Amino acid sequence: MDPDTELMLRFARGDISAFEQILKKYKDMVINLAYRFVQNYPEAEDIAQEVFLKIYQSAINYKPSAKLSTWVYRITANLSLNYLRSKKHLPTVPLEESLEITESVTPDSDFEKKELTKRVKKALNSLPENQRLAVILQKYENLSYEEIAEIIGVSSSAVDSLIQRAKENLRRTLEPYLFPSSFTFSPKGRR
């Protein structure tokens, strides 16, 4: 059995120190994941409090059907998405850190780099929720397709499809900004 699952079961039996260990182990991960969605640290901390409150309240009914980490990711993602829906705004994600698009383009000035980053953020924010969630979990949390599938509640092949569609949507949206105006992209090298 997963050691973290054992901690949760111990907490369900009344061992408060087990909950404290869960909190200590997952606090940073929960705040970081929530921040990736909401882009506001105090709001991410509020979401984290809600996550741990939900874990605390769910302890009595907890049934280990997956690793505890998967369950915690799922709760965090769901509460973050609910928060965004309630605020009626899209998150921005700090893309400079890990999207290959910004690494493969070398703008001539800081202004151009900032403008490209802004457009990449906008393109990512325009993705459907499941595609955006899959990209965040893969790129920022370095989760496998199998782990993402458990969190989202779909098959691994569906995760692959979500990520491929996200990449295609991002490519299509960003194509005018990534290639010189004299170059027109066409599939399979046709012009």
Q: Calculate the CA 31 to chain-centre distance.
A: 12
Q: Is the pTM of this model over 0.85?
A: no
Using one digit for the tens of pLDDT, what is the confidence trace for 135-176?
888 988 889 999 999 888 899 999 999 999 999 998 888 887
Which CATH number among 2.40.50.100, 1.10.1740.10, 3.40.50.300, 3.40.1160.10 corresponds to the domain 3-87?
1.10.1740.10
Domain ranges of the chain: 3-87, 95-189
Using one digit for the tens of pLDDT, what is the confidence trace for 10-42?
999 999 999 999 999 999 999 999 988 888 899
pLDDT at 187 over 60: no
Q: What type of residue is 102?
A: T
Q: Please, which residues have CB within 8 angstroms of residue 21's CB and are 6 or more apart in sequence?
A: 7
112 φ/ψ angles, rounded to the nearest 5 degrees: -65, -40
**pLDDT value at residue 72:** 94
> pLDDT band for position 93 (50/70/90)?
very low
Using one digit for the tens of pLDDT, what is the confidence trace for 43-89?
999 999 999 999 999 988 888 887 899 999 999 999 998 898 887 64
Asked, colleague to colleague, whether 3-87 and 95-189 share their fold, the answer is no
Q: Which residue has the higher pLDDT, 73 or 118?
A: 73
**Domain 95-189 grouped into CATH 1.20.120.140:** no
Could you tell me which of 50, 56, 76 has the C-alpha nearest to residue 151?
76
